[in-house]
Structure 1
């Protein structure tokens, strides 16, 4: 349900719509961590999370260096690390694999840390959504993880595609809005495989003024 409150917005600005928040239940179906020197991950039974992310992980750190996703900064600018964790859904990866004409895309090929089960259209979960794990850990969604050629190249190589570069470009195209989410640690602790999650989707504002 969407609503616009005329008492809050003048008549000329009634293009702002408000979508109420909601709660969902989910599960951490699988966990993965990356060596400190490579973005591809490997299956683990638990993730030890601090305010810097996963201990010893390739993407751990309070800050990171800017890249192609941040054209407003010179490449290599130090900035806050909002990409500590990569979240994906098995059903979305299956769609991408089908579009690429390959049998599967394993989460570890694209550096995923958590496979989330039970959230419809996971990649469309809005920024600011909170995932409360039964263990007490909380992570906060920053936004969608835009597909890139680096991940695409990993998929093409692992799937043994005949043309690796074409596969990398294809992944970047067909995985749009299906690549999952990036998130950061709001409350540290230990996540275990199979753990229950309470997802809190915030009130959303559709800003069209």
Structure 2
């Protein structure tokens, strides 16, 4: 199962009048799923992303719900995939490097928010690798995007960071799942 395209999710967020951006919202979802992999986060994630109050199912326009459901389902499947197919939802290469870097920072902020929502309080007691990833994501969330079109070095650095967060998100998920005594999901081959 593949993530919906960033542009499709962006359109759905505009139609739903979401306060967060797609990259930030996806980071939040990934943080929730990584911090507490056993929980069903779908409606809470939608409430957080859309600033919706109440309990139960979030009310969405008919054209929006299938896109966000597909994003949730694909993300959940990718997080447990042992073949490491997880990808953060970020704008594609048609967007300038400054926009992609800005969205990467938002994704990292969202991940930290989702993680702290699912696991409030101190990070004491977390495996050292998980604490290191959270610290790294905190630093990445504060990085200033390059000005202008960026250089080849900027592009290479951005690709390296995307690869790092791709692996880091799955590492956090797997470490915490193992800590809870749950084996990795059998969907990995």
Query: TM exceeds 0.5?
Result: no
TM-score (norm 1): 0.27
Answer with 1 or 2: which has the greater Rg: 1
1 or 2, which has the higher helix percentage? 2
Higher strand share: 1
